[in-house]
């Protein structure tokens, strides 16, 4: 943990301190939901009304196994994500930011897990809609973690086989929309800089102020993918996992990131005395 602190201090990053350590949720509150179809209308608050009803079920045991805890209102871990959400939303509102890229220096730092839990937590706010988009085109995992399988996904959108509205799904949680990527995509850096993705990001951002769009991204240092994406989003949430990146990897990442757009740093897999998260 010291090397993380040193790297952040060197880069003069002050907005630090969200520490996360997950354990499987103890209680189940997401029950099987009847999903009322992909979102196709929005009211003035940007809240999505679902029509035409394909059914998607979230399996509680699967969510727990994958450390998705934010839906479990009474769980301490869920409270921690709510706290992270509150800090994030405050800073986003101050800056009129609506799109977030979740990145890390190196793989396996917890980006996908944090993106999902954060999106669920944001969706719990009655005045917000959260859209979670899987833009880790090399290693898409959002659908796997949520346990959802869809016929149409980002893969079809990228091949002009489906419009955006047909690849958005609701996982049975109000005000939460998922745009899954079901299969790895080749030439991902080229695709992420293409008009197709630029247009998607612009379209998702443009419509309503109450929308928060979270992009689960690839690691910064393993390919060009994240670097291509970062200039296209409003702000960046950096996830650094204890033991997963060296100090020089953290420093190199911080060097690449535009500091003015850095929303914050989450210290993941932090050692904590109790099993709860703390901030
Ligand atoms: N705080 C945590 N405590 C324990 N395990 C965690 C924590 N955060 C993530 N993990 C586990 O670490 C692994 C990697 O998490 P995740 O897939 O979210 O990382 P990632 O940064 O998205 O990885 P990739 O770079 O491969 O996309 C998963 O098995 C996840 O359950
Ligand atoms: Mg991931």
144-148 contacts: CB < 8 A, separation 24 or more? 144/66, 145/66, 145/68, 145/112, 145/113, 145/116, 146/58, 146/62, 146/63, 146/66, 146/68, 146/116, 146/171, 146/178, 146/180, 147/58, 147/59, 147/62, 147/63, 147/66, 148/56, 148/58, 148/178, 148/180
Q: In the chain, what are the domains?
A: 2-268 (3.40.50.300)
Choose between 273 and 77: higher pLDDT.
77
Rounded distance from Cα 93 to ligand 2 centre (Å): 26
Mean pLDDT of the chain: 83
Q: What is the pLDDT of residues 157-193, one digit of tens each?
A: 999 999 998 999 999 998 999 999 999 999 999 999 9
Pocket of ligand 1 (CB under 6 A): 20-22, 67, 104, 107-113, 136, 139, 141, 219, 268-269
Q: What is the pLDDT of residues 218-276, one digit of tens each?
A: 999 999 999 999 999 999 999 999 989 999 999 999 999 999 999 999 999 876 543 33
Q: pTM of the prediction?
A: 0.87
Q: Which residue has the higher pLDDT, 208 or 192?
A: 192
Which of 64, 67, 114, 115 to mutate for ligand 1's pocket (most ligand atoms within 8 Å of CB)? 67
50 Cα–ligand 1 center, Å = 31
């Amino acid at each position: 943990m010291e090397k993380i602190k040193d790297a952040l201090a060197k880069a003069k990053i002050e907005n630090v301190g969200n520490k996360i350590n997950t354990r499987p949720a103890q209680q189940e509150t997401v029950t099987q939901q009847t999903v009322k179809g992909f979102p196709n209308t929005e009211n003035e608050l940007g809240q999505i009304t679902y029509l035409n009803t394909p059914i998607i079920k979230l399996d509680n045991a699967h969510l727990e196994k994958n450390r998705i805890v934010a839906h479990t209102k009474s769980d301490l871990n869920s409270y921690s994500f709510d706290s992270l959400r509150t800090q994030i939303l405050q800073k986003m509102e101050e800056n009129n930011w609506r799109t977030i890229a979740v990145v890390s220096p190196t793989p396996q730092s917890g980006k996908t897990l944090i993106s999902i839990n954060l999106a669920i937590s944001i969706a719990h706010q009655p005045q917000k809609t959260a859209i979670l988009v899987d833009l880790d085109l090399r290693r898409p995992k959002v659908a796997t973690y949520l346990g959802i399988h869809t016929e149409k996904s980002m893969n079809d959108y990228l091949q002009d086989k489906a419009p955006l509205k047909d690849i958005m799904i609701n996982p049975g949680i109000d005000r939460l929309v998922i745009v899954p990527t079901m299969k790895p995509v080749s030439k991902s850096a080229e695709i992420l800089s293409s008009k197709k993705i630029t247009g998607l990001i612009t379209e998702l951002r443009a419509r309503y102020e109450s929308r928060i769009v979270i992009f689960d991204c690839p690691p910064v240092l393993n390919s060009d993918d994240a670097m291509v994406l970062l200039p296209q989003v409003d702000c960046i949430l950096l996830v650094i996992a204890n033991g997963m990146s060296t100090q020089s990897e953290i420093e190199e990442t911080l060097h690449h990131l535009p500091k003015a757009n850095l929303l914050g740093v989450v210290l993941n897999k932090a050692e904590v005395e109790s099993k709860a998260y703390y901030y």
